[in-house]
Chain A
Amino acid sequence: MSWAPGRLAARWAAIAAVVVLWQVWARHQGSSFFPPPSAIADRMYQQWFSGPASHLFLTPDGVGNVLPSLGRIAAGLAIAVAVGGVAGVAIGRSVALSGYLDPLLQFARALPAVTLVPVFIALFRLGTEMEVATIAFGTVWPILLNTIDGARSVDPVQMETARAFRLPGWQRLTKLIIPATMPRFFAGLRLSVSLALVLMVFAELAGSSNGIGYEMNNAESSFDMTWVWATIVLLALLGNAFNLLEQAVEHRMLGWHRGARGRMP
């Protein structure tokens, strides 16, 4: 990916062209299933973003539905990062733990998280806890398995260096194993961030009293296609925003990694 101005302009030009074509085509068709982008954008503004400055321009609907969804994603991902990161390093560095847990992890990973929503509903009842559990359970696997791999494959020369210079255990962990694991951890996090959005919508569709998925259910059952489309576009924008945020954090944390791989002057 290049951030050169020319390339950047080209990327936006392609998006703009699609939006313009859609606009022209939708106005021409007049189909109620495919409202024009201008109508969708207007609806998004009315629905969520026309609130007072004191509420960060969010409408009551934005506060009541968008923020809870964001909070659930944040909570679910935070649990997945904490559990996946800590357990991943522990399992990756322990031959015994790896041996015992590997078959179990491979099995659990293959389990689609959405199939567990009924279980989580039974365990936690409908509501935030169930949704956070779904997101956490679904997103923990890419982080956990990548972190295990990363921790397991710390360069043996680096490990030997740490032993030769007698780094104490804690420093070996914080100055060698954790930094060396970071590239793989972030590879997992990237996958998990995309997954989190899907799981959030699914869990909220399955049963919730607020949230973007709940709002989508409402829009669908009231046959308000512009509302449905507004929700879809909102989710697409959120997905992109999460990816950009993840990339920014990764860019900051892994400058050395790009450099060492020869991708930075």
Chain B
Amino acid sequence: MTGTAMLEITGLTHAFGPGAGHPALDGVTLTIGEGEMVSIVGPSGCGKSTLLRCVAGLIRPTGGSVVLRGAPVDAVPDGLAVVFQDYSRSLFPWLSVRDNVALPLRRTQQGRAQRQATALDALGTVGLTDIAQKYPWQLSGGMQQRVAIARALACDPVLLLMDEPFGSVDAQTREDLEDLILAVRQDSRMTILMVTHDIDESVYVGDRVIVLTPGPARVRADLRVDLPAPRDQIATKALPGFVHLRTEVSRLVRGQPGDAGGRGSAGGTGRSAPGDDSRDRNRSRAARASQA
């Protein structure tokens, strides 16, 4: 963990519908440090996206608290940006790429020229300067998601939330986008919270992988990823440490007893998650990555 706590999630519960309704979150407790890149994985439908929406202030949770930089989150807070999974619906088709990126800046930047410059800058970061005049629907899925990332970066957030951002692009594009996020993060040191259903991805991009239980979600395991930087799609994924961690995460997601593993071979420095039962606690133990 780097520095102080950026985000503190305490006993977060949420249920949809009236009364007890459909529970989605069941006491999620999690602390994320400044500058961390945290992946959240879990079985599909477990409440990952609900957790992210509560953190973003888009949903008011039924219980517990979210504290961002010491201030409780009860509406969408300052300094936060979101990348949604459904890029084709979250970009506005009537605005050009540049105007899409510049739109959220109106709140913070007065001059149109300044906003346009910031937007072009962000588009440059994701490698799309030359298509600024185009419309989102003229671009491929991967490029549209790059635009959505640029829109988030242009706001210069301290906390970037991503909800299965690469869930609907092809494998090659997904790898490129993963590397793009790693590069962006390298330069900016922002804190990133990414929900994903892809186990390899969670380990590859994360400093930490949070595994949630099947819904309603609790934290099943909190694994530290001690893989060397810079990460590389081929070399990193061939490391024993990577293979071990992905197996561990895979088991945890499937709800199988984890190979407490570790014992010097690979994995992460396990930290038990509050609220977990003792089985989970043992399971999430792991050892330091092998510095191959």
Known: A163-B76, A164-B82, A165-B155. A158 touches B89 (CB 8 A): yes
A262 to B138, CA, bound (A): 9
For chain B, the count of residues having a C-beta within 8 Å of the partner chain is 24
Using Cβ atoms and an 8 Å threshold, which residues of chain A touch B82? 161, 164-165
Q: Which residues of A come within 8 Å of B, CB atoms?
A: 155, 157-158, 160-161, 163-168, 171, 175-176, 179-180, 182, 256-257, 259-260, 262
- What residues on A are CB-neighbors of B137 within 8 Å? 256, 259-260, 262
A163, B89: Cβ atoms closer than 8 Å = no
Q: Measured between alpha carbons, how far is A175 from B151 in the docked complex, in Å?
A: 15
A45 to B80, CA, bound (A): 68
Structural contact, B103 and A166, CB atoms closer than 8 A: no
The distance from the CB of B82 to the nearest CB of chain A, in whole angstroms, is 4
Report the bound CA distance from A176 to B80 in whole Å.
20
- Shortest B103–chain A CB gap in Å is 6
Complex contacts, B58 vs chain A, CB 8 Å: 160, 163-164
Beyond the given pairs A164-B84, A262-B137, 18 more chain A to chain B contacts, judged by CB atoms under 8 angstroms and listed by A's residue number, are A160-B58, A161-B84, A163-B76, A164-B58, A164-B82, A165-B81, A166-B104, A167-B103, A167-B106, A171-B106, A175-B103, A176-B92, A179-B92, A257-B93, A259-B93, A259-B137, A259-B138, A260-B137
Contact B135 A165 (CB under 8 A): no
Interface centre among B92, B94, B103, B107 (most CB of A within 10 A): B94
B interface residues, Cβ below 8 angstroms from A: 56, 58, 76, 80-82, 84, 86, 89-90, 92-95, 103-104, 106-107, 135-138, 151, 155
Could you tell me the distance between the alpha carbons of A163 and B76 in the complex, rounded to whole angstroms? 7
**Contact partner, A165, options B86, B94, B104, Cβ 8 Å:** B104
Contact residues of A: prevailing secondary structure: helix
Indicate if the CB atoms of B107 and A167 lie closer than 8 Å: yes
Q: How far, in Å, is A177 (CB) from chain B's closest CB?
A: 11
A256 touches B135 (CB 8 A): yes
**Minimal beta-carbon separation of A159 from chain B (angstroms):** 10
Instruction: Give chain A nearest CB distance to B194 CB in angstroms.
Output: 15
B93 touches A157 (CB 8 A): no
Expressed in whole angstroms, the minimum distance between the Cβ of A61 and any Cβ of chain B is 45
Q: How far is the CA of A182 from the CA of B56 in the complex (A)?
A: 30
Instruction: Please tell me if the beta carbons of A164 and B56 are within 8 angstroms of each other in the complex.
Output: yes
Q: Across the A-B interface, give the 8 residue pairs with the lowest CB-CB distance, nearest first.
A: A165-B104, A157-B89, A260-B93, A164-B82, A179-B94, A260-B137, A256-B94, A161-B90
Asked whether A164 lies within 8 Å of B76 as measured between CB atoms, the reply is: yes
Distance of A161 Cα from B84 Cα, bound (Å):
8
Task: Tell me the nearest residue of chain A to B96, going by C-beta.
Answer: A256
Are A157 and B92 in contact, with the CB atoms below 8 A?
no
Q: A157-B86, A256-B137, A260-B137 are in contact. Are A167 and B104 (CB under 8 A)?
A: yes
Measured CB to CB, the nearest residue on chain B to A170 is B106
Q: Which of B56, B84, B92, B138 has the most CB of A within 10 A?
A: B92
Tell me how far the C-beta of A171 lies from the nearest C-beta in chain B, rounded to whole angstroms: 6
A157 contacts across to B, CB distance below 8 A: 84, 86, 89-90
Contacts of A259 on B, CB cut-off 8 Å?
A: 93, 135, 137-138
Distance, CA A166 to CA B92, complexed state (A): 15
Which residue of chain A has its CB nearest to the CB of B108?
A166
Nearest-CB distance from B77 to chain A (Å)? 9
- For the complex, give the distance between the alpha carbons of A168 and B151 in Å: 17
Q: Please indicate the chain B residues that have their CB under 8 angstroms from the CB of A182 in the complex.
A: 94
Return 29 A-B CB contacts under 8 Å, by A number.
A157-B84, A157-B86, A157-B90, A158-B89, A158-B90, A163-B76, A164-B56, A164-B58, A164-B76, A164-B81, A164-B84, A165-B81, A165-B103, A165-B104, A166-B76, A166-B107, A167-B104, A168-B106, A168-B107, A171-B106, A176-B92, A182-B94, A256-B93, A256-B135, A256-B137, A259-B138, A260-B93, A260-B136, A262-B137
Which chain B positions have C-beta within 8 A of A166? 76, 104, 107
Question: Nearest-CB distance from B54 to chain A (Å)?
Answer: 13
- Distance of A158 Cα from B106 Cα, bound (Å): 17
Specify the chain B residue showing the minimal Cβ separation from A157: B89
CA distance A161 to B144 in the complex (A): 15
Distance from B115 Cβ to chain A, minimum over Cβ atoms (Å): 12
